[in-house]
Copies of this chain bind each other. A is one copy, B any other.
Amino acid sequence: MNTLPSIIDIAKLAGVSKTTVSKVMNNQYGVSEDTRKKVLDAAERLQYTPNLAARSLVTSKTNVIGVVYDSFSSPVYTELAGLLEHYAKAQGYHLVLSSCNNNLETKANYIQYFMGGAADGVILFGSALEDRQIIEKLMNGRYPFTVIENRFEQLDINNIVIRNSEGAAEAVRHLAGLGHTRIAHITGNMQHRVALDRMNGYISAMQDLGLGLDPRHIIYTDAKIGCGAAAADQLLALEDRPTAVFAFNDIIAYEIMDAFHLKGIRVPDDFSLIGFDNIREWMSFKPGYSELSSIAQPLKQMAAAAVELTVKRVNHPDSMPETVMFSPKLVLGGSCRSII
């Protein structure tokens, strides 16, 4: 069983020392053009690929950023993944992704894998509350670690924070400004910080506006496929039917829109609707009846910041962890109407 060619093989073939080969491979000065050519030639002939494990063992650097996802279930997530790659590349880093398929143990596994030398830093995307335990257990306080969506400022890690409650409040204020007073909220999975934040934003905005708070107007879901359709039924069954809905995310909102449509209920004529995430851009095949108004997250800036903070920590492991906050903003479609 022959093995992969190493620097030594090249050195032999080119008739030089392995030091010289290494220098050529790393484009370093102090090698004559002649030997450089010889070495490159030998490498080509042997189909040489440098052994990254050996390299990173001695340099203790991989130039890789690892990203851990819960799943790829939303177009926003995958868009973010592409952006992360883009910004990582700009900084000279490879970006590799892993999905734990919503398994907590697997998630810890991947983080450990990256921390164990597969990556110089990790970006964890997701807002599951239980992630805290994992991080507490694994963090050693010096490994570059950045969290997007969640927020653990006490844990010596970087945080990319979206002011979700602010976005939710903006949605509610917009609807209230159009004259709506009975505004319902469809929640996400309450085990996730984003769902809590958006609900809290809804609640406090309702109270601040003096619209009161009808507990029946909060419909709880787990944000899984199909929950929007179910929520639509619940909405229609309400006695004092709301005139507007703020949904945890666009998928739920579109499901509701679709369910309403099938029952002959029109958006925005009968119901005003606002979602979250603004996935419209990726939904070229969205329902045609109405453009959804939605709260958009600044994905590009989030991705750029996540990479930047991670890289900064890689270069200065003893620097303080940072928290960067972004505000989402309302993007108007045509799914809301004034009832004044």
- Asked if A110 meets B81 with Cβ closer than 8 Å, knowing A228-B285, A258-B286, the reply is no
* Contact residue among B82, B109, B112 (Cβ-Cβ distance under 8 Å from A99): B82
The interface size bin for chain A is 35 or more
The reply to whether A115 and B255 contact each other, CB–CB distance below 8 Å, is no
User: A52 contacts the other chain (Cβ, under 8 Å)?
Assistant: yes
- Contact among B57, B99, B288 with A261 in the assembled complex (CB-CB below 8 Å): B288
Question: Within 8 Å of chain B (Cβ to Cβ): is A71?
Answer: yes
Query: What is the 8 Å Cβ interface bit string for chain A, positions 36-56, against chain B (1 contact, 0 not)?
Result: 000000000001011111101
Taking the nearest CB of chain B, how far is it from the CB of A292, in angstroms? 9
Q: How many copies does the complex hold?
A: 2
CA distance A81 to B47 in the complex (A): 30
Q: Residues 109-128 of chain A: 1 if any B CB is under 8 Å from the residue's CB, otherwise 0? A: 11011011110000000000
> A86 within 8 Å of B by Cβ?
yes
Which residues on the B side are within 8 Å of A53 (C-beta)? 52-54, 56-57, 62, 117-118
Task: Scan residues 64-116 of chain A and give those whose CB is less than 8 A from a CB of chain B.
Answer: 64, 66, 71-73, 75, 78-79, 81-82, 85-86, 89, 94-101, 106, 109-110, 112-113, 115-116
The CA-CA distance from A287 to B290 in the complex, in Å, is 11
Contact in complex: A118, B118 (CB < 8 Å): yes
A225–B284 CB distance below 8 A: yes
B288 adjacent to A286 (CB under 8 Å): no
A140 to B258, CA, bound (A): 52
Q: Are A110 and B97 in contact (CB under 8 A)?
A: no
CA distance A47 to B4 in the complex (A): 34
In the complex, A225→B64 CA distance in Å? Answer: 31
A340 part of interface (Cβ distance < 8 Å): no
Cβ-defined partner of A140 (8 Å) among B47, B85, B109: B47
Give Cα A53–Cα B49 distance, bound, in whole angstroms.
16
Chain B residues positioned under 8 Å from A240 (CB to CB): none
Instruction: State how many angstroms separate the Cβ of A228 from the closest Cβ of chain B.
Output: 7
- In chain A, positions 1-57 with a C-beta closer than 8 Å to chain B are 1-4, 47, 49-54, 56-57
Query: Cα distance A232–B311 when bound, in Å?
Result: 46
Please name all residues of chain B whose beta carbon is closer than 8 Å to the beta carbon of A4 when the two chains form the complex.
140, 142
Distance A317 CA – B1 CA, assembled complex (angstroms) = 9
Other 18 A-B pairs with CB < 8 A, given A49-B140, A52-B53, A85-B100: A49-B112, A49-B138, A52-B117, A53-B56, A64-B113, A75-B75, A85-B101, A94-B109, A94-B110, A96-B97, A97-B98, A225-B284, A251-B284, A254-B284, A258-B285, A258-B287, A285-B286, A285-B287
List residues of A whose CB falls within 8 A of some B CB: 1-4, 47, 49-54, 56-57, 60, 62, 64, 66, 71-73, 75, 78-79, 81-82, 85-86, 89, 94-101, 106, 109-110, 112-113, 115-118, 138, 140, 142, 225-226, 228-229, 250-251, 253-255, 257-258, 261-262, 282-288, 317-318
17 contacts between A and B (CB under 8 A): A1-B318, A4-B142, A52-B118, A53-B117, A57-B57, A72-B81, A85-B101, A94-B98, A96-B96, A96-B98, A96-B118, A97-B98, A228-B284, A229-B284, A250-B285, A254-B285, A258-B288
